[in-house]
């Protein structure tokens, strides 16, 4: 196993590792199951699952995922070239469709 795979795996899973505790940080408030219980009296999702925790964990994981992808967008010249080529092709297409006949 190559040792460079370990930091790559941590980088890949970091948004999930952060989202889980952030759900606890942002938690509290209205339960996701609105206090409903099953026929045996147990809560559907349990006592600790709230809408605020769900949204806080999801948003924090998504934001971190976007932040972690920025270095690849900024520093990868091949990607930048692909975007520039696609933009140029789209503008050529758009220019061709607006010319008078």
Tell me, letter by letter, the H, E, C secondary structure of the chain: CCCCHHHHHHHHHHHHHHHHHHHHHHCCCCECCCCCECCCCCECCCCCCEHHHHHHHHHHHHHHHHHHHHHHHHHCHHHHHHHHHHHHHHHHHHHHHHCCC
The confidence score (pLDDT) of residue 70 equals: 85
Average pLDDT over the chain reads: 83
75 or 40, higher pLDDT? 40
Q: Which of 2-6, 32-36, 60-64 is the most confident on average?
A: 60-64
Predicted confidence (pLDDT) per residue in 62-71, tens digit: 999 999 988 8
């Amino acid at each position: 196993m190559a040792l460079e795979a370990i930091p790559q795996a941590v980088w890949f899973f970091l948004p999930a590792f952060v989202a889980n505790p952030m759900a606890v940080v942002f938690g509290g408030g209205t339960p996701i199951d609105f206090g409903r219980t099953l026929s045996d009296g147990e809560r559907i999702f349990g006592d600790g699952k709230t809408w605020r925790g769900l949204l806080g964990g999801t948003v924090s994981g998504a934001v971190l995922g976007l932040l972690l992808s920025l270095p690849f967008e900024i520093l990868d010249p091949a990607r930048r070239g692909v975007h520039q080529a696609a933009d140029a092709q789209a503008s050529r297409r758009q220019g061709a469709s607006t010319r008078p006949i």
